[in-house]
Amino acid sequence: MSTRNTVITSILTALITSICTFFALYFVVFHKKKPKEVIVPQVVGLMPSQAMEVLDGRKLRLQIIERRADPKVPRGQICSQHPLPDSKVLQHSAVNVVLSSGPPRVSVPTCAGMKLQDYTILLTKQKLTLGKLSYASRPGIQPGHIISCDPKAGTVVKPGATITATVAKQAALEKEVPKLKRMSCRKAKKEIVKAGFTVGKVKWRVRDAPPYTVLSQSPEAGTKAKPGSPIELTCNRDD
């Protein structure tokens, strides 16, 4: 009889435990308070701290998922959100947002040695504008190719920025310096200008020579010099 009583007691204990477990699960499943639905507010244009405050009031969470350039939304502000404003979601749901890194930026492309025409096309592709051009002679760079640009290559600028450039031009051919010795200083100056040069420093000395005549010149007669370069004179003065 003791064995039979033990079996019956075990069965009753198991049955009672099952019934208690059933009612406990029933209470958890059917009587647990469900989250309410709330309307998602507009957070685009807000800073994250401001958005968190707005979302907290509706028991929603802020989740930053990305940062990207935006031409209209200032850096650090929210530029897009999901779910969209006025959507219905359960409380404690996350609102995913994208932060603006500010207007898009581009780097000034390398310019040195490029043909002007090719660089113009490259700037257009980068949404940049070619501005004022200046020209200069530069050994080693062919005419029509770019010497330098401003801002310098690699500088980060806004789309639409203007880039100025210095372009290589044909170097002026050197000319022969005219002979000026024993010529009057006044006439020598006229000859210098006539030959395409400029009058440089004029020094005066007292020598055994006709007054106001050229004693020496630099560069020497017969040498080559660039047009516009100065020619210096040493002239004799009357003692």
What is the predicted pLDDT for the residue at 51?
96
CATH no. of 37-100? 3.30.10.20
Element (H, E) at 52: helix 48-56
**What pTM does this model have?**
0.46
Q: Are 104 and 51 in contact (CB under 8 A)?
A: no
In DSSP terms, 207 is beta-bridged to: none
Predicted confidence (pLDDT) per residue in 22-75, tens digit: 666 665 555 556 789 999 999 999 999 999 999 999 999 999 999 999 989 999
Domain 106-168, architecture per CATH: 2-Layer Sandwich (3.30)
Predicted confidence (pLDDT) per residue in 125-156, tens digit: 999 999 999 999 888 889 999 999 999 999 99
Burial class (CB in 10 A: 0-12, 13-18, 19+), 232: middle
The domain segmentation of the chain, as residue ranges, is 37-100, 106-168, 175-236
Class of domain 175-236: alpha beta
Predicted confidence (pLDDT) per residue in 155-194, tens digit: 999 889 999 999 999 877 788 999 999 999 999 999 999 9
| pLDDT over 90 (residue 9) | no
d(C-alpha 233, C-alpha 200), whole Å? 7
What is the predicted pLDDT for the residue at 1?
47
